[in-house]
Amino acid sequence: MSHEELHGSIPASYPALTFPRQTFVSLLAFAAVWEILSHLAPVLGIPPFAIPSLVRIAKSIATITPIDIAVTLARVMAALVASFVLGLALAMAMYRSEPLEKYLHPLIRILMAVPVVSWILFAVLWFPGVEFRIGFVLFVVCGPVFLVDALDAMRSVPRELRHMIQSFRPTGLQFFLKLMLPAIVPTIFTSWKVNISLAIRVVTIAELVGAVTGIGHQLSVAQELFSVADVFAWTIVLVALLFLLEAIVAQIEARLLRWRP
């Protein structure tokens, strides 16, 4: 048997974080147009504060407090981890128990249909603690996504593979650890990418209500001060944070899924 029989090869390295030239050019063009508009604003009848110059935005970025970024990031990650663990556990239970699946599925569909704003209002009315409110909102928004994605992925595991492993008579736990969990890893990564994006947006709204720390709170302060530059600066931070988290997930995904052709 020779190496010629091999059909492919394992990638030698993982994809690096890239910043394509086209992206750089388009961002530069946007910045140039923004700067021109900021200078033309008085001529166009637009209040000067509405389109601050890049220098003014840079000054706002320089005053950004890392603690608020850390707090928001911690809230997002804690909620995502809790949502993931509980969503996955419930998905496994629903996969094992058809009656449980039949009773819970309609409730989860309803949960997913409730607008985020409604959850924020419920949280404010139901819970006194700010942290719990924010965690609750993130959990009810992200948890069902993890659950539904994981359950669908488990149901999609080929019958042939399920029969193969069952023929070796695994325990219930082994069945999940050796087959189901590895099989749904690609879907889990997709869920994480979707939920990171969702959580970053939702946490900002949740922090607007009652929080005294975090990016959402700082956006609220900027709005009260009519500071578009500060809003812009914090928005840049949010987008950068989202891209950074997605890039980290993509790196882990490439490493764990290196077996894929």
Partner 1 sequence: MNAASTPMNGPPPIAVRGLRKVFRQTTTGQSVVAIDRLDLNIAPREVVAIVGQTGCGKSTFFDMMIGLETPTEGSIHIGDKTPYADFDHFRGKIATVFQQDRLLPWRSALDNAKLPLELIGLPEDVQRERALTWLNRLGLGNFTNAYPHELSGGMRQRVAIARAFSVQPDIMLADEAFGHLDEVTAAELRDTFLALARESGSTAILITHQLEEAIGVGDRIVVFGKSAKLLADIHVAQWPKSQYAVLREAIQFTLQNNVPDPRLAQG
Q: Which stretch binds partner 1 (CB under 8 A): 29-37, 72-80, 219-227, 252-260?
A: 252-260
Which residues are CB-neighbours of 25 under 8 A, at least 6 positions away? none
Work out whether 170 is an interface residue with partner 1 (CB under 8 A).
Answer: yes
Work out whether 6 is an interface residue with partner 1 (CB under 8 A).
Answer: yes
What tokens does 191 get? 């869920």
The binder of partner 1 chosen from 57, 108, 141, 179 (CB under 8 A)? 179
Work out whether 255 is an interface residue with partner 1 (CB under 8 A).
Answer: no
CA distance 5 to 3: 5
Question: Are residues 257 and 185 in contact, defined by beta-carbon separation less than 8 angstroms?
Answer: yes
For residue 260, the minimal CB distance to partner 1 (Å) is 8
Q: How far is CA 131 from CA 22, 71, 248, in A?
A: 41, 10, 26
Q: How far is CA 93 from CA 107, 166, 221, in A?
A: 15, 18, 44
Work out whether 12 is an interface residue with partner 1 (CB under 8 A).
Answer: no
Which residues are CB-neighbours of 139 under 8 A, at least 6 positions away? 79, 82, 83, 86
Whichever of 160 and 224 has its CB closer to partner 1, that residue is: 160
Question: Are residues 180 and 157 in contact, defined by beta-carbon separation less than 8 angstroms?
Answer: yes
Work out whether 154 is an interface residue with partner 1 (CB under 8 A).
Answer: no
For residue 95, the minimal CB distance to partner 1 (Å) is 17
What tokens does 163 get? 């029969």
Q: Which stretch binds partner 1 (CB under 8 A): 12-20, 48-56, 156-164, 204-212?
A: 156-164
How many other C-beta atoms lie within 10 A of the C-beta of residue 201?
A: 14
The binder of partner 1 chosen from 100, 107, 164, 252 (CB under 8 A)? 164
The binder of partner 1 chosen from 26, 42, 182, 244 (CB under 8 A)? 182
Which residues bind to partner 1, rule: CB under 8 A?
A: 1, 3, 5-10, 160-161, 163-171, 174, 178-179, 182-183, 185, 257, 259-261
